[in-house]
Amino acid sequence: MSFITDGRCEVVTTLSQNMAERLMVALDFPNAEKARSLVASLQGIPCYMKVGMQLFYAAGPDFVRELKDKGYSVFLDLKMHDIPNTVRGGADSITRLGVDMFNVHAAGGTAMMRAAREGAQEAVEENSSLSLPLIIAVTQLTSTDQRTMNEEIGIQGSVEAAVVRYARLAEEAGLHGVVASPLEVQAIREACGPDFRTVTPGIRPAGSSALDQARILTPGQAIAGGSSYIVVGRPITGAADPREAAQHIIEEMMNA
CB 54 within 8 A of CB 77: no
CA dihedral for 82, 85, 88, 92, sign (positive or negative): negative
Catalytic-residue membership of 34: no
Q: 141-149 long-range contacts, Cβ below 8 Å, gap at least 24? A: 142/181, 142/201, 142/202, 142/213, 142/214, 142/215, 142/216, 143/212, 143/213, 143/214, 144/214, 144/215, 145/214, 145/215
Residues 6+ apart with CB under 8 A from 35: 27, 29, 55, 59, 63
**CA dihedral in degrees (249, 233, 236, 101; nearest 10)?**
70
Roughly how many angstroms between the first and final C-alpha of the chain, as a whole number? 22
CA gap 17, 45 in Å, rounded? 8
Out of 34, 68, 70, 79, pick the active-site residue.
Answer: 79
CA gap 116, 241 in Å, rounded? 38
CA gap 213, 182 in Å, rounded? 12
- Residues with catalytic function: 79
